Structure 1
Amino acid sequence: MTQSPVARLRRELRQVCAAAGVTAEDRARLVLAVTQLAESAAHTGLSSSRVDDRLTVTLRLPSPVGQPRRNALPLLPDAGDGETLTWHLGAGHPAVTVPDDDERATREEMLALVARTDVIAKEQRELKHELAETNSGVLAMYVELEERDERLRRAHSVIFRELEDALRPSPPHVAGFELAVHYAPSEPDSPAGGDLYDWFVLPDGDVHITLVDAVGHGVTSTRHALTVTHAIRTLALEGHPFPDLIGHAARTLATIEPDLMATVLLARLDPATGDITFANGSHPRPVLVTPAGDTELLVPTHVGRGVGFPDPGSGSLVHRTLAPGDLVLLYTDGLIESRKNYQEGEARLRAIAPHHAGDPTAAIPGTLAAKMHDVVLHADDTVVMVIRRKHETLGRE
């Protein structure tokens, strides 16, 4: 597959940083900054040099970059003429190997930033605890640090919103089907959450969908959810049987992330026939909505357990053949637990969904989230995914 100019630029930049032994965190921030600049530029030029323990990277752009935009980059460049931006990074660490695959390299960099933010968050909590035990003579200093902490939190929120967007892939193109998704964090300025999804087309043409809700909040839950989605994607692409994916992933991750707990819902769609199969590990049950307005909870005969739960696995599978116009809703518990009543939320969703089954597919997830959250007694991250079979005849492309 031919890489885009931006992807080639990222690859060149990663190779330069890897050869110089730049840390994964600094490399991730630099790659993200250069990507933001290059995506809106007609053409760019990249050069680098190393002197002793410093790596110098220079990006040439066709037009100047204003100071406000420069200040908003994840890694601030040196002062310059605006068209030529230069970064200086520490070098000299042992050279590292960076994956050639752009998606794998991006995931690796995102995990490095998430891990670093975990450390920063822990340091901030410890600092607040120490300040709280000091005497009143340092109150003024404490207030100043709180203000700095707020500015830092907002800056992290911007960076992590971009990371969240990078970690939430756009719907794949599937002949005969329309797919859409809506994500909302528990708080408007929340930088990250544990609700993640993944969808991609397998080599045989089937579509695989993973929906994960990791227990916890903040960047730790984001890292856990990303770990689960990546593990299941790897197993699926290696050809492991669909019914075994949740259990296999749970056993694999048990020694790597012993504290990880997450509910998991998997779907496997055959676009040629409209057949869809679900594997459920402790996750909220999908809802099928027909053009006539009928709804059905897709409930397995034997309920499975999620990653980190006792006896993990998918239990029994649920199979359906979607007719033209049929709609399937996949979601995390944030959608139905806003009033602190799981069953009441399921019932309301089944009552509301048919009224919007005729809406444009792209608008349905956001509309359902807004309707379900008219009263919020318990805020939580929310993902709503929609799969709709079109009315025309289906077939593999």
Structure 2
Amino acid sequence: MSRRRPASHPSADDLLTELGRLTAQALEQAELQQARVELAEALQRELLPSALPQLPGLRAAARYAPARHGLSIGGDWYDGFRLPDGSVAFSLGDVQGHDVEAAAFMGQVRVGLRAVATMAADPGEVLDRANDLLISLDSRLFATCSFLRYDPTNRDLAHARAGHVPPVWANTDGRWGHCTDEGGPPLGVLPGEKYPVTHHRLAGSGVFVLVTDGVIEGPAFPIEAGLDRVAAVLRARVADEPGELATELLRVADLTGHTDDAAVLVLRYDD
């Protein structure tokens, strides 16, 4: 009769060696992820403008904040620049996805919008051309965006949006609301799309605000509730300086859980 050999069990030294290997592997992965997060955040901040254009009767301010837990970083942007005809343009948007790739694509979108805007004054045409440009890049990513053009000669604010959340506004006379401007699909999805334009005459004194969904939406916080909260802040602090108001609006993201990066653009207009 053959005798069964007793089953071998790993020694304490073997268990410690394997535990050390797994720990080193986990630390390496964590360090790699942290390095990617830090690179994405640095790239994101470097690609955002250091200043926005200011005009008599129109002052602008913007703020950006990475996600609270440092994982969903890269993709949100704001921008503002002067156009050859004396008007100024502003954009705010959000690239699908996060990390270094999204931050780099955000830079392409922002530069593309600037380049197109110098040749097309109409915001809808700017988004039309930018959409086709992004599709030609054959990227896997897409972006939501709002694009504004302000004409100081008649105080006309022209707005076109591509899959982005609507603007919110408030006047010092007590009126306020969510803009119901018609829009089109996100940029970089469907070729040949046309983006309608809505015109707003900035009469009196007040604020016109754009936000990304990281400000107003969370796992248990619907967009509608976030927009209502933004409107409440505007109504209560409509007389604040644009920078102070932008900072206060970013705090709305704390209510949503701040699980995504967030950007705010505030335009303050006065007679």
| Partner of residue 127, structure 1 | none
| Aligned residue-pair number | 255
| Partner of residue 316, structure 1 | 196
Q: Answer yes or no: is 1:249 the counterpart of 2:130.
A: yes
| Partner of residue 179, structure 1 | 60
Once the two structures are superposed, the pairs formed by residues 126-165 of structure 1 within 5 Å of their partners are 137-151=17-31, 153-154=33-34, 157-165=37-45
How far residue 329 of structure 1 moved from its aligned partner, in angstroms, is 0.4
| Partner of residue 240, structure 2 | 359
Could you tell me whether the CA contact under 8 Å between 2:169 and 2:234 is conserved in 1? Answer: no
| Partner of residue 209, structure 2 | 329
Aligned mates of 2:81, 2:154 — CA distance in 1: 18
TM-superposition CA deviations, 1:201-237 (whole Å, max 9, x none): 1122111112121111212221222221111111112
User: Sequence identity of aligned pairs in percent?
Assistant: 27
TM-superposition CA deviations, 1:150-171 (whole Å, max 9, x none): 4455455555443322211121
Give 2:91's aligned amino acid: T
User: TM (normalized to structure 2)?
Assistant: 0.83
Could you tell me whether the CA contact under 8 Å between 2:40 and 2:74 is conserved in 1? Answer: no
RMSD between aligned residues: 2.5
Question: Structure 2, unaligned stretches of length 5 or more?
Answer: 1-14
Aligned mates of 1:153, 1:273 — CA distance in 2: 50
Aligned mates of 1:248, 1:297 — CA distance in 2: 27
| Partner of residue 141, structure 2 | 260
TM-superposition CA deviations, 1:74-133 (whole Å, max 9, x none): xxxxxxxxxxxxxxxxxxxxxxxxxxxxxxxxxxxxxxxxxxxxxxxxxxxxxxxxxxxx
Could you tell me whether the CA contact under 8 Å between 1:260 and 1:307 is conserved in 2? Answer: no
TM-superposition CA deviations, 1:136-184 (whole Å, max 9, x none): 8544133224334544554555554433222111212323221111111
Could you tell me whether the CA contact under 8 Å between 1:279 and 1:314 is conserved in 2? Answer: no
Give 1:250's aligned amino acid: N
How far residue 376 of structure 1 moved from its aligned partner, in angstroms, is 2.9
Aligned mates of 1:313, 1:148 — CA distance in 2: 45
Aligned mates of 2:85, 2:61 — CA distance in 1: 22
| Partner of residue 9, structure 2 | none
TM-superposition CA deviations, 1:284-307 (whole Å, max 9, x none): 11112101221122222x431121
CA, structure 1 residues 344+158, in 2 after alignment: closer, same or farther (shift >3 Å)? Answer: closer
Could you tell me whether the CA contact under 8 Å between 1:158 and 1:191 is conserved in 2? Answer: no
CA, structure 1 residues 185+311, in 2 after alignment: closer, same or farther (shift >3 Å)? Answer: same
TM-superposition CA deviations, 1:187-206 (whole Å, max 9, x none): 35348311112211112211
CA, structure 1 residues 313+366, in 2 after alignment: closer, same or farther (shift >3 Å)? Answer: farther
User: TM (normalized to structure 1)?
Assistant: 0.58
Q: Relative contact order: is structure 1 or structure 2 higher (C-alpha 8 Å, sep ≥ 6)?
A: 2
